[in-house]
Structure formats: structure tokens, C-alpha cells
Amino acid sequence: MFGSISETQKAILSGDIKCVDVVDHFLQKIDEKKHLNAFLTVTREQAYDAAKKQDKLVSSYGRAVLERLPLLGVVVSYKDLFLTKGVRTTAGSRVLESYIPTYSATIVERSHTSGMIMIGKTNCDAWAHGASGENSDFGPTLNPHNNEFVPGGSSSGSAVSVAAGLSHVSFGTDTGGSVRQPANFCGIYGLKPTYGAVSRYGVVAMASSLDCVGVFSGYLGDCKKVFDVVRGTDGRDATLKNGGFHIGRKPVIGVPDEYFSEDVDPVVLENVMQALEVFKGGGYKVKRVKLPSTKYAISVYYIVQPAEVSSNLARYDGIRFGESREMFGLEAKRRIVLGTFVLSSGYYDEYYKKASKVRTLIINEFDEAFKSVDVLISPVSPSTPFRIGEKSADPLKMYLSDILTVPANIAGIPALSVPFGRYKEFPLGFQLMGPKFSEEILFEVAGDFERMTDYKFIPV
């Protein structure tokens, strides 16, 4: 009854439950799973208010309410990087511990006008810097499958919110993998759309040429529904474009050799190979492709990203927003220093300019690959979830968690984390990447896979 969006809406419209019951259900789960530290703020009152209003509309208009509120009764959480009018927004950092925004992000507005009900703001690595959820100033988020392990990051609380059944869906941000990697570690879908497909207006900026707003869901259909509501131009984010296409035949799947290297845990590789067998069995054509510059992607990312971080974080000078710049944690400081260095005169050409050139190479290689295949399949994270504390003292080790996800950000292409398989108590999965604005194709391929494997989402 509280499973997918369509199940929930069916129960509401048939009168079996009210929107208030949906909110009750998720709030109770949030209380039960408090130890996971997935939420920084729970918006109990607002959720009940919104649900009561919707219940009135349902009793006046019946089914027709869906024309006005297509996502009626859908309970959503937001990474604490999305500005929510009147509701504290911390970006996971003490700097913004008591910051109350005066306006909401476009995606928040669009979610609410389509009928979604906000249940709270989720924990995340401070400023979205991290791959484990341990770098939050409000304590780590725990993996619901085993509490001694990380859920992935930086959108840690959002992934846990969906995987543990604390909300139907959640919004995160993905600059280098922060939606796909935690989705992978928690066993749910995670979409990083095309760069410029979803507005970043009202989102705390990390690295503006890479930042994307992404969606977490347990059910593939829900991911698509939510994406469709928030995508598209809003006149407030200049990078936005409307786009999308179909190909009218079975997509050809590309297997990039470089993503199947010895840096990837054999358990993870073996599982992706099994997924590939499922596709082959389903009549998909599979082709090997080469993306030779993949090996430079992480270096490019750790030049371009800190450079942009250093300019974006300059606004938190303690005067306009937040408490004091002294509250910045170690990781943010590391990136500010690194970014300022690669942009400094004398080093700009050697680092930033060179990285920009290699970025173009990576983009060109993807373009070339997409001439012969429609989508690419790869692992998401090179490892299964790691223990809390295992990588937190070694930034380089932590950075390498993103080797397979950053290329899509560098090229601005869409990518989807698909849950499939298990290793011990942990879920596994794979990544599908496609050319810009190919989200429909990614959904189509993942949907076909879901049917072929008879996949069912069960919250932990």
C-alpha cells in the first residue's frame, strides 16, 4: 500500500487510505530508523498540513484530482542541499547550521505543485564533498543493510531514506557520483540526468559545470514520474535545455573495456557480467567499445571540481550566509586550497587549462562511442560498501570510489544506477550511460531489465 507511487495513489483514490495515513506511515518509519541518521530535519507539521489539504481535494474531486496533482500523496525527502523556504538548509555543514532560506529551489516548488509532500531534509557529506556520508558535520549516515558500513555519499541520507522505506522518493545531487554511488550501495535506482536537464536554481552549488540534480527511487517507474515533473527550463538556470528522444528499435549496448579493469572488485565485475548475460538473453546486441581517456577522468575531476568549489564557497564568508567560515571542515578546506592553487597565475595553464583540454578528449570519446552504440553498461562503484572509518583518513582512497561515475559528469551525459544482485547482505548493481538527453532510453533499457529479472523492491 505504501510501496510504489501508483500503488499508493490507487489506495488513496479507492478510499482505503488517506494522504494523512501515508504521512503517518513514513513518519513512523523515520522514528523507527532514527539510528540510521538519514534525516537532519523532519518536517512533520508541514507534511500533515499538505496531506490534509490533499485529502480535502480528494473528497471534493475524486480521481480528477490527479489532473491537478499528478504526484498526489507522494512522500519526498530532499538532500539538505536544496533550499526549502522556511525550513533549515545546512548543506551538511555547521557553517549553515541555522540558515533558513527565504525561497525554495525550482525542483522543490515543482514537486510540491505536482502534489509531492515533503517529509524532511536528509543528511549528506558537508557541501556534497564525499563518497561515504561520513563527512557530514552532523554525524555519519549508516547503511541500512549493515549499520557498520557506509551507505555511500554524498547524498547518503537520501539513498537511505528510500532504501529503508522512509519516503517514496528522494532528491540528491550528483557532481561526481553522489546519486549513483549511494543508490548502488543501498540497492535502489539513482538517476543522474543530462547536465542542464533539471534546474539547479536554489541548490547549494558545489562545482557548477558538473552539478546535476538527481532522483532516488525504489521503483523505476517512480524515478521516471518524478524526473518528468521536475525537468525542463525555468528561466532561472541558464544551462537548462529541454530535450529527449527515442530510437524506435532495440538499443545496442556498449561495453567499455576501461570500466572493467583490475581496479574493480571481481565480485562487482562478475555481477555486471551476469547482467550483460540477461541482456544478451533478451535479444540485445552487445558491442565492445573503447574509451581510452577514462583513466584521466578522476585527475580531471579533482582539478576542475576544486577550482569551481573554491569560487562557489567564497560566498560563505560569514557575512551574507551562515555563521562563520571558521566552521568549514577539513575536506572543504582541502578543496578550497587545491582549487585556489590550480587557478592561480603560473599554475593555471599547467593544471586547469590542461584538465579542460583532457575534459574535451573525454567528451569526444563518448561522442565517438555513441556513434556505434546507444547505451553503455558498467559497474557503478569499484567496490562493495566499505566499513565506516575504512577510507575516511585517506582522501585519495576515498576519491577513487568515483572512478567509474565521474566520467558521466565530465561529459554531461545521463547515467542511471540500476539495482541487481547481492553480495553477502549488500545489494549490487550496474550503471547505464547514454548520450545527452537519452534518459527515456535508459528508462526503457532498465525497464526491460526489470521485467526480464522480475525485480521487486523491498525496503530494508
Contact residues: ligand GLN, CB under 6 A:
128-131, 154, 173-178, 206, 305, 402
Which residues, listed in sequence order, are joined to residue 433 by a DSSP beta bridge?
376, 415
**71 vs 105 by CB, closer to ligand GLN:** 105
Catalytic residue among 33, 79, 192, 225: 79
The count of C-alpha atoms lying within 13 angstroms of the C-alpha of 251, restricted to the half-sphere facing its C-beta, is: 30
165 CA to centre of own chain:
17
In degrees, to the nearest 5, what angle opens at C-alpha 413 toward C-alphas 411 and 418? 130
**136 vs 175 by CB, closer to ligand GLN:** 175
**111 vs 154 by CB, closer to ligand GLN:** 154
**93 vs 178 by CB, closer to ligand GLN:** 178
Report DSSP state, residue 351.
I
Asked if 178 is an active-site residue, the reply is yes
| Min dist. Cβ of residue 181 to ligand GLN (A) | 7
Catalytic residue among 104, 132, 136, 154: 154
| Min dist. Cβ of residue 403 to ligand GLN (A) | 11
| Min dist. Cβ of residue 340 to ligand GLN (A) | 17
H helices of 210-325, in order, are 220-230, 266-281, 297-312
Euclidean distance between the first and final Cα of the chain, in Å? 16
Catalytic residue among 178, 217, 392, 401: 178
Residue 355 burial by CB count (10 A; 0-12/13-18/19+): exposed, middle or buried? Answer: buried
- Type of residue at 7: E
- List the strands of the sheet with 212-217, edge to edge: 39-42, 117-122, 75-79, 169-174, 212-217, 189-192, 415-423, 426-433, 375-378, 253-256, 286-289
| Min dist. Cβ of residue 446 to ligand GLN (A) | 21
Residue among 301, 299, 253, 317 nearest 279 (CA): 253
Q: C-alpha cell of 18? A: 488517506
**174 vs 374 by CB, closer to ligand GLN:** 174
In degrees, to the nearest 5, what angle opens at C-alpha 181 toward C-alphas 236 and 447? 80
Cβ-based neighbours of 265, under 8 Å, separated by 6 or more: 382, 383, 384
| Min dist. Cβ of residue 448 to ligand GLN (A) | 28
Asked if 154 is an active-site residue, the reply is yes
**207 vs 289 by CB, closer to ligand GLN:** 207
| Min dist. Cβ of residue 104 to ligand GLN (A) | 21
Catalytic residues: 79, 154, 178
